[in-house]
Amino acid sequence: MDAFIEVDRVEKVFEVRRRTGFMKRVKRQVRAVDSLSFTVARGEMVGYIGPNGAGKSTTVKMLTGILMPSAGRLRVAGIDPSRDRTRLAHRIGVVFGQRTTLWWDLPLIDSYRLAHRMYRIPDARYRENLERCVELLELGALLDVPVRQLSLGQRMRGDIAAALLHDPEVLYLDEPTIGLDVVSKAKVRGFLKELNAGSGTTVLLTTHDLQDIEQLCSRVMVIDHGRLMYDGALAGLHEAGEGERTLVVDLERELPPIEAPSCRVVRVAGPRQWLAFPAGRSAAPLVAHIAAEYPLVDLSVREPDIEAVIAKMYAEKAVS
């Protein structure tokens, strides 16, 4: 596997000075990232999640060359980001969800023209990329509109396009759907899926919105207190967090709670019952059992709520 991003025992220690009295201050060391190791292959789309202050943005800042790591080794496309910041800049795209890089008072297209020249994008390449972004992100009608007049969703789409004109090999997205309405979220997600599948761009996504991850990423990394808590498939996260799936059963009539092995009824409402069972298990034996013993009309399986899963993971970590 071609490791495109390599993070090897990376640490970032900040010295925080806190005021305790009128003139008194105490220095305290904060380990924002603690012995973090992972690799991301070219073309992967990885979700990077964790609570506020977990070390997510510190990691991204080190990967983009903004911050220098205190210890450990870090490579993106074979480049040491903190040493070769400007060389790396040509090969990465960054979208900061809450800070636009677009020019506020100028038409959207002007920001793209600046990128064209600043990144020295060959003319043909620029036109091709712009055309594609305009089409997929539906920016056509917005190009001549001053950025200050764009809605949040339009601006986010504009920002994503701006980060992609120079054909970056990796795209870092920091909260790309924050504050967007449902339609805009869907557009952004659809585009990212297309980008990853079509151009093979590696994507690293930090988000609070777990639907982003569910819909986009096959791999999730969870970080808390600067440590990697989980790295693997989304499905595995449910097991790691001991998540439960829910089987919704519609019966012919109201009946007492269903009794079946390794599951429990969490709710009953008329003929409908909700049964929780471990996320790691197949639903098939359970369904077979119920179909055999009860007058079944319809049923459906609901995936666990990741938010609940992660909350549970953190809670357990805190206890242990």
Partner 1 sequence: MGEYRPLTEGLRAYRLIAGMWVRSTLTYRASFAMTAFGGLVVTGLDFVTIVLMFSRVDVLGGYSLPEVAFLYGLSATSFGLADLAIGSADRLGRRVRDGTLDILLVRPAPVLAQVAADRFALRRIGRVAQGSLVLGYALIASDIAWTPVKALMVPGMLVCGGAIFSAVFVAGAAFQFVAQDASEVQHAFTYGGQTLLQYPPTVFGKELVRGVTFMFPLAFVNWVPAAYVLGRPYPLGGLPRWAAFAPPLVAVGCCAAAALAWRAGLRSYRSTGS
Phi and psi at residue 26, to the nearest 5°: -115, 140
Cα R_g (the chain), whole angstroms: 24
Give the binding range for partner 1 (CB under 8 A) out of 58-66, 124-132, 286-294, 300-308. Answer: 58-66
Closest contact distance (angstroms) between CB of 14 and partner 1 is 6
66 binds partner 1 (CB under 8 A): yes
109 contacts: CB under 8 Å, gap ≥ 6: 143, 144
Which CB sits closer to partner 1, 94 or 195?
Answer: 94
Question: What separation in angstroms does the CA of 182 have from each of 85, 177, 179, 194, 242?
Answer: 36, 9, 10, 18, 29
Q: Which of 9, 90, 78 is nearest to 42 (CA)?
A: 78
117 binds partner 1 (CB under 8 A): yes
Closest contact distance (angstroms) between CB of 66 and partner 1 is 5
Walk across the sheet containing 264-269 and list its strands.
264-269, 272-278, 244-251, 296-302
104 binds partner 1 (CB under 8 A): yes
Q: With CB under 8 A, what is the number of residues at the site for partner 1?
A: 31
Check: CB of residue 271 under 8 Å from CB of residue 250. Answer: yes
How many CB atoms are closer than 10 A to CB 52?
A: 7
Give the binding range for partner 1 (CB under 8 A) out of 93-101, 124-132, 225-233, 301-309. Answer: 93-101
Which of 35, 70, 211, 215 lies at the binding interface for partner 1 (CB under 8 A)? Answer: 70
Which of 43, 146, 190, 278 lies at the binding interface for partner 1 (CB under 8 A)? Answer: 146
Q: Which residues would be at the binding site for partner 1 (CB under 8 A)?
A: 14-15, 58, 61, 64-68, 70, 82, 85-87, 89-90, 92, 94, 96, 99, 101, 103-106, 110, 114, 117-119, 146
